[in-house]
Structure 1
Amino acid sequence: MKVIGKHVTVDMYGCSFASLDDLDYIKNALLAAAQEANMTLLELSYHKFEPHGLTILALLAESHMGIHTYPELGYAAVDVFTRGDHTRPNKAVSVLKRFLKPAKTKTTNILRGDFGSQKDMRPRVKISIAPLRSVRNTGARVLKFLARHK
C-alpha cells in the first residue's frame, strides 16, 4: 500500500500561559498555519475550558489539524494530519512554533497507510530546544536564588 498521508504530532513545552489561554490568538495561529501550508479550511471548532485551556480543531479538505493547550503547564499538544502532495504539514508546524515560541519541542513524523512498504515502521522523532531561552531562564533562576540568600 502506498503512503496515504503525513501525520505530524508535536509536543511544545515552555510556551507562555497568556498565549496558550488566548482563544483568538490560537485560532489565528491555526488559520495562519493552514493558509501557509496550502491547506483548505472547511470548518473550525473550539472549546475554552475553565479555569483555563483550549481545544481547537480545524477540519480540512485534506484531513485535520488540532491543538490542545495546557496553559498551567506551558504545554501544547499539536496534531497535523494531511493527505495529498500539495500540503506541507511541517510548514504548518513551523507557523505554530512561530506563534507559540516553545522552549522545547518533540516532533514525531508518521507516514500513514504505509504498512509493508517501509523497512522501518517506527515514526521519526526529533527533539529541539531553544538554546537562548534556556540560557535566559537559567540566568533568571540563578539571580532569584542569589537574591533569596543574601
Structure 2
Amino acid sequence: MKVIGKHITVDMYGCSFERLDDLEFVKTAMHTAVREANMTLLDFSYYKFEPQGLTALALLAESHMSIHTYPELGYAAVDVFTCGDHGRPDKAVSILKNFLKPEKTKITNIKRGDFGSESDMKPKIKVSMTPLRRVRTTGARVLSFLSRAK
C-alpha cells in the first residue's frame, strides 16, 4: 500500500510565555502556515484556557493542523497531518517555528498508511524444530542404553 499522508509532530521547547498565551498571535501563525504551505482551510476552532494556555485546530481539506500550548512550561505541541501531495506540512512547521521561535525542537515524521510490502503485513511465526529433534534423539539413546543393559 502506498503512503496515504504525511504526519509531522513537533515538540517546541523554550518558547516565549507571551507568544504561547496570545490567541490572536497563534491564530495568525496558523493561518499564515496554512496559506504558505498550500493547504485549504475549511474551519478553525480554538479554546483559551484560564489562567493560561490554548488549543487551536485548523480543519483542512488535506486533513488537520493543531497546536496545544503550555505557556508556563514554554512548550507547544504541534501536529500537522496532510493527505496527498498538495500540501506541504514541512513548510507549515517551518513557518510555525519562525513565529514561535523555540529554543529547541523535536520533530517526528510519520508516513501514514505505509504498511510496506504485503509480506511485511503477514505475521512472522518462527518455528524451531530443535527441541523435537532432542526428544527423538534422547528417546533413541534411552532405548539403546536399556537394550544394552541386558
- Superposition TM-score tier, normalisation by shorter sequence: 0.7 to 0.9
* Secondary structure in 1 matching 2:72: helix
Tell me the alpha carbon deviations over residues 82-124 of structure 1, each in whole angstroms, 9 at most, x when there is no partner.
Answer: 011121000000000000000000000000000124xxxxxxx
Instruction: Show the counterpart of 1:88.
Output: 88
Instruction: Show the counterpart of 1:97.
Output: 97
AA in 1 matched with 2:114: D
Aligned Cα root-mean-square deviation (Å): 1.4
Instruction: Show the counterpart of 1:8.
Output: 8
Structure 1 or 2, whichever has the larger Rg, is 2
Consecutive aligned runs of 4 or more in structure 1 exceeding 2 Å deviation: none
AA in 1 matched with 2:47: H
Instruction: Show the counterpart of 1:44.
Output: 44
Instruction: Show the counterpart of 1:132.
Output: none
Tell me the alpha carbon deviations over residues 31-82 of structure 1, each in whole angstroms, 9 at most, x when there is no partner.
Answer: 0000010000000000000000000000000000000000000000000000
TM-score (norm 1): 0.77
Structure 1 stretches lacking a partner, 5+ long: 118-150
AA in 2 matched with 1:60: L
Instruction: Show the counterpart of 1:121.
Output: none
Q: How many residues align?
A: 119
Instruction: Show the counterpart of 1:30.
Output: 30
AA in 2 matched with 1:93: V
Instruction: Show the counterpart of 1:76.
Output: 76
Residues 50-65 of structure 1 aligned to structure 2 (within 5 Å)? 50-65=50-65
Fraction of identical pairs, as percent: 78
* Secondary structure in 2 matching 1:50: coil
Distance (Å, rounded) in 1 between the aligned partners of 2:30 and 2:65: 8
Instruction: Show the counterpart of 2:134.
Output: none
